[in-house]
Structure 1
Amino acid sequence: MILIQPKTVKLFQTPFDGLELKSSGGGQVNHVSLIGRLAGDPCLRYTAKGTAVTGFVLAVERLLQPDDQADRAVEFIKVVTFGKVGEACSGHLYKGRRVAVEGSLRTARWQGEDGRVRQRVEVVARLVEFLDGKRKNDQGNEENEAAG
Structure 2
Amino acid sequence: MALDHISALAGPMGEDAELRPARVEDLAFQGDHLRRQAHALWAAVEDTQVVVARTAQRRAEMADEEASVESAELTVRLPGGKTVTARLAPAGAADRHPGWITWKNETTTGTADSIEQLELEATLHTLATLLGPHLYDAEDDCDPTPPDSPHFATFR
Asked if Structure 1 and Structure 2 have the same fold, meaning a TM-score greater than 0.5 normalized by the shorter chain, the answer is no
Higher helix share: 2
Shorter-chain TM band: under 0.3
In the superposition, the TM-score normalised over structure 1's length comes to 0.26
In the superposition, the TM-score normalised over structure 2's length comes to 0.25
